[in-house]
Structure 1
Amino acid sequence: MGIINGAEFAPTSTYLDTAKCGLLPARAVEAVQRLAASNGAGGGAGDFGIVEAARESFARIVGVPGARVATGGSVAVHCGLIAAAQQPGAEVLFAEGDFSSIINPFVVRGDLKIRYAPLDELAEAVRPTTALVAWSAVQSADGRLADDTAVREAAAAHGARTLNDSTQAAGWLPFDASLYDYTVTGAFKWLLCPRGTSFLTVSEEAQESLVPLHAGWMASADSWNSTYGPLSELAPGARRYDEPPAFLAYHGAAQSLAYIEETSIAAVHAHDTALAARYRAGLAALGHEPVPGESAIVSVPGLADREPGLRRAGIITSARAGHLRVSFHLYNTEADVDRILDVLSGRTLARRAAGH
């Protein structure tokens, strides 16, 4: 069984693709619709208080004070701020094959020393010349979990800062953002927020390391009295790095994040990983070898070509890096696991052919 309130979700397919995009709770959809409907009626511009509620909710989920969270629209923009702060010639270390949004902002500068290492060798690859280590807690392509502790310890031993992308982790995997100098999180996946919702966390120690290059009037300590001319003082904490809010997205996000808090990460983690374990066992029985681990994302090398057929059968998955990628979240059930296994085994087609 799922752990959802049935009133919040009503998927019209067997949806196993949260690693691509999460489903919106009904309350989030309604919040977006309310704001859109109020356009021109005095309230359609959006509510900054709701943006603050989303900030504080996310902060609680990842274990940091709200003052350490910046709101924005994309991981790439957050990473662009961090990339801009690196000194020319600085060495930045990435995990091989990690998601491009955390890599490209550094690569396109053209004056940084970029290095890559296999995910399971990332800690060993940190060296005294490394200025920053950037990696994803959970790999997008195949669901592998990084040894975050080992990488953090290696970075600390060599004086390197850390940037962790928790986009594929926050929402199902217990994640403590306070352990990193910077974290970035696209919230439209496991946190079930609308696209256009993304969060940056900055540790107190790293607070002055970034320049708020896209600072608008909201980067000021006194925003409403700083709408014209240059600001006199930056906002305290990470709010100085805020992007202007996409209100429709954030009105929905505040509701989605509240729903995740109500459900609890511990409950979601237990549920998601139990379904993933059931699927892995079923795959093994069919003779398939998924990428090993205990992730809510399960990828099978060499089965990417099955994605179109699964979609025709009403089962939504993704093909990534030659893998068939399946991801389980709080709205999925054991019946969803059994259905995809049936289709992959050919049993569903056999029953149809027999007239059942």
Structure 2
Amino acid sequence: METTETFESLVRAEFSRKSIYLNTASNGLLPARTVAALGEAALLRAEGRPLLPLYDDVEAARAAYARLVGVPGSRVAAGASVAAHTGVIAASLPAGAEVLTAEDDFTSVLNPFHVRGDLKVRTVPLERIAESVRPGTALVAVSAAQSADGRLADLPALREAARAHGARTYVDFSQAAGWLPVDAGAHDFTASVAFKWLLGPHGAAFLTVPEDFGGLVPVLAGWVAAETPWESCYGPVSELAHSARRFDLSHALFSYAGLRRSLELIEELGLSAVHAHTVGLADRFRAGLADLGHEPRPAPGSAIVSVPGLGSRQQELSEWGIEVSDRAGNLRAAFHLYNTAADVDRLLQALAS
């Protein structure tokens, strides 16, 4: 972005909040352009007009996400949830393979490995995950930013440890993509939902894979996973897509129509500007908490701040028009591009009262 004024004017034009919304780690707000696109997509269906233009939105969203995470669009699959993408990865591992995970990571990153029943799932504290990679570890699965408290994984250290031991890496960007600069190309597999920091509707998610697909088997492949989808509607798919599209799930067309516009907004604002804005607000909140005698969970550099012992105030704060989360007794505040310094100060004032 050229100026702070331009950043703020773009944000003001897209969001009309009715509360101090500090809960993006649960759901991001929808920009006005996204709401309009959803309405237009719904009208196509309501009026019986062809939905074919919406498939262009899927491809535009795929390309925009690829730019955001730094990989070619040919490495991006369009799906519906992180759990489904994790399931494909879990299904592709051989029996007895060791999967290394972080304690209390988000369930969608973990559970498909557990339900296999024949994998060795090992769990360690997040801070020890890089040093815990060992010979025989097949895959390391971890969130880039922890949902519960915003702690950031040391991804460069993890990548180097995995390479040293021949392990693959799977990183969930759901709490990172959209505010934190990330590099999907540095990992074998990454995934992200779109309804948090990417500001999209529910029902859209992305998976990135290596150019050689990393040994993944497209066990959920349907007609959209074919090289020529419209010629592959009946009978088995004779030729899977030559790109990551072979891992696509049937597209939630309305969701992608909206998501395309949300990703356009993030690109217009610039990820570096969004990152500086969000982390600056989180740091302002951390400093204010210290003045009040509260100590948040250590998560330097994160846009998510978790404060032990204050989760019980979530309902009270909501009644005052301040939306945060209660996570296991911790108050979780998540700062995004539509938040302001005044939001931080209002939350601190409420906590002090």
Q: TM-score, normalised by structure 1?
A: 0.95
Secondary structure of 1:7's aligned partner:
helix
Give the aligned partner of residue 225 of structure 1.
231
Give the aligned partner of residue 102 of structure 1.
109
Question: Displacement of 1:151 after TM fit?
Answer: 0.7
Aligned counterparts, 1:338-349, within 5 A = 338-346=345-353
**CA–CA distance in structure 2, aligned partners of residues 12 and 184 of structure 1:** 31
Aligned counterparts, 1:128-139, within 5 A = 128-139=135-146
Aligned counterparts, 1:180-259, within 5 A = 180-205=187-212, 207-259=213-265
2:33 aligned with 1:53, yes or no?
Answer: no
Once the two structures are superposed, what CA deviation does each residue of 1:307-341 show, in whole Å capped at 9, x if it has no partner? 11111111000011321000100000011000000
2:34 aligned with 1:28, yes or no?
Answer: yes
Give the aligned partner of residue 316 of structure 1.
323
Secondary structure of 1:193's aligned partner:
coil
**CA–CA distance in structure 2, aligned partners of residues 15 and 340 of structure 1:** 10
Name the stretch that deviates more: 59-68 or 43-52: 43-52
Question: Displacement of 1:237 after TM fit?
Answer: 1.4
Give the aligned partner of residue 327 of structure 1.
334
State the one-letter code of the partner of 1:204.
E
Unaligned runs of at least 5 residues, structure 1: 347-356
**CA–CA distance in structure 2, aligned partners of residues 92 and 231 of structure 1:** 31
Aligned counterparts, 1:134-153, within 5 A = 134-153=141-160
**CA–CA distance in structure 2, aligned partners of residues 41 and 92 of structure 1:** 48
Which of the residues 9, 12, 29 maps onto 2:15?
Answer: 9
Secondary structure of 1:5's aligned partner:
helix
**CA–CA distance in structure 1, aligned partners of residues 189 and 214 of structure 2:** 12
Structure 1 vs Structure 2 CA RMSD? 1.2
State the one-letter code of the partner of 1:27.
R
Which of the residues 66, 70, 78 maps onto 1:63?
Answer: 70
**CA–CA distance in structure 1, aligned partners of residues 214 and 183 of structure 2:** 21
State the one-letter code of the partner of 1:242.
D
Which of the residues 74, 79, 88 maps onto 2:86?
Answer: 79
State the one-letter code of the partner of 1:272.
T
Secondary structure of 1:273's aligned partner:
helix
Whether contact under 8 Å (2:142, 2:170) holds in the other structure is: yes
State the one-letter code of the partner of 1:213.
V
Q: TM-score, normalised by structure 2?
A: 0.96
2:48 aligned with 1:41, yes or no?
Answer: yes
Unaligned runs of at least 5 residues, structure 2: none
Q: Do the aligned partners of residues 269 and 21 (structure 1) sit closer, same or farther apart at CA in structure 2, a change above 3 Å counting?
A: same
Once the two structures are superposed, what CA deviation does each residue of 1:91-144 show, in whole Å capped at 9, x if it has no partner? 000011100001001100111001001011001111001000000110000001
**CA–CA distance in structure 1, aligned partners of residues 67 and 327 of structure 2:** 32
Whether contact under 8 Å (2:99, 2:141) holds in the other structure is: yes
**CA–CA distance in structure 2, aligned partners of residues 204 and 33 of structure 1:** 36
Whether contact under 8 Å (1:46, 1:248) holds in the other structure is: no
State the one-letter code of the partner of 2:349.
D
State the one-letter code of the partner of 1:163.
Y
Which of the residues 266, 275, 286 maps onto 2:281?
Answer: 275
**CA–CA distance in structure 2, aligned partners of residues 46 and 320 of structure 1:** 41
Question: Displacement of 1:204 after TM fit?
Answer: 1.7
Give the aligned partner of residue 299 of structure 1.
306
Question: Displacement of 1:34 after TM fit?
Answer: 0.6
Question: Displacement of 1:10 after TM fit?
Answer: 0.4
State the one-letter code of the partner of 1:102.
V
**CA–CA distance in structure 1, aligned partners of residues 279 and 111 of structure 2:** 31
State the one-letter code of the partner of 1:112.
L
Give the aligned partner of residue 260 of structure 1.
266
Name the stretch that deviates more: 59-68 or 196-205: 196-205
Whether contact under 8 Å (1:55, 1:69) holds in the other structure is: yes
Whether contact under 8 Å (1:37, 1:44) holds in the other structure is: no
Which of the residues 165, 173, 182 maps onto 1:166?
Answer: 173
Question: Displacement of 1:208 after TM fit?
Answer: 4.9
Q: Do the aligned partners of residues 148 and 337 (structure 1) sit closer, same or farther apart at CA in structure 2, a change above 3 Å counting?
A: same
Once the two structures are superposed, what CA deviation does each residue of 1:289-313 show, in whole Å capped at 9, x if it has no partner? 0122121000101111111111111
**CA–CA distance in structure 1, aligned partners of residues 54 and 334 of structure 2:** 33
Which of the residues 178, 202, 205 maps onto 2:185?
Answer: 178
**CA–CA distance in structure 1, aligned partners of residues 237 and 217 of structure 2:** 14
Whether contact under 8 Å (1:46, 1:247) holds in the other structure is: no
**CA–CA distance in structure 1, aligned partners of residues 229 and 51 of structure 2:** 20
Secondary structure of 2:240's aligned partner:
coil
Give the aligned partner of residue 121 of structure 1.
128
Question: Displacement of 1:46 after TM fit?
Answer: 5.7
**CA–CA distance in structure 2, aligned partners of residues 228 and 318 of structure 1:** 46
